[in-house]
């Protein structure tokens, strides 16, 4: 599978937390605590704060998410247009991977 230059995979151990964060923000802006709650509900995994902000810093550097003004000591983030594009590409890749995997399981 061909990888795009701006792929989430280049984030190394932060690629999965970054994907969860972007999926959470696809619903609308959220601050860190709301993201961890949402991610725990959706995936069953609780992101640690060190991992969460390590991923947020990387996503911000790439301008895939952007910070909004602080609201009651909590800063919300939102997905940027570039972030939408990267997330869509990643989800398409995962869908293809899942389809191929399921097909091979059925054959085997």
Partner 1 sequence: MRREWLLLLYPRAWRARYGDELLAALGRDRLPVSQVIDIVRGAIDAWWSPEVRRATAARPLLACDRGHAAGITPRDGLIGAAVMVGGSFMLAILSVTATRAGWPALGRVGTDLGFLGPFTLSMPFWLMPGTSRRAQTTIVGITLALLIASSVISNVR
Residue numbers of the site for partner 1 (CB under 8 A)?
31-33, 36, 48-54, 56-58, 60-61, 66-70, 73-75
Nearer of residues 22 and 51 to partner 1, judged by Cβ: 51
Smallest gap, in angstroms, from Cβ of residue 72 to partner 1? 9
Buried/exposed code over 46-74 (b: 16+ C-beta within 10 A; e: otherwise):
ebeeebbebbbebbeebebbbeeeeeeee
Nearer of residues 68 and 98 to partner 1, judged by Cβ: 68
CB-based contacts of 38, cutoff 8 Å, min separation 6: 24, 27, 30
Smallest gap, in angstroms, from Cβ of residue 36 to partner 1? 6
CA 98/CA 82 separation, integer angstroms:
24
Q: What residues pair up with 76 in beta bridges, in sequence order?
A: 31
Smallest gap, in angstroms, from Cβ of residue 42 to partner 1? 17
Nearer of residues 58 and 90 to partner 1, judged by Cβ: 58
């Amino acid at each position: 599978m061909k990888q795009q230059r701006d792929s989430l995979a280049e984030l190394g151990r932060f690629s999965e937390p970054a994907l969860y964060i972007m999926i959470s923000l696809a619903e609308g802006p959220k601050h860190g605590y709301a993201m961890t709650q949402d991610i725990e509900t959706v995936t069953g995994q609780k992101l640690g704060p060190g991992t969460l902000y390590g991923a947020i810093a990387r996503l911000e550097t790439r301008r895939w998410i952007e910070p909004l003004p602080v609201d009651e000591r909590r800063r919300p983030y939102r997905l940027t247009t570039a972030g939408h594009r990267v997330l869509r590409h990643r989800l398409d890749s995962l869908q293809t991977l899942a389809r191929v995997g399921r097909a091979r399981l059925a054959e085997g």
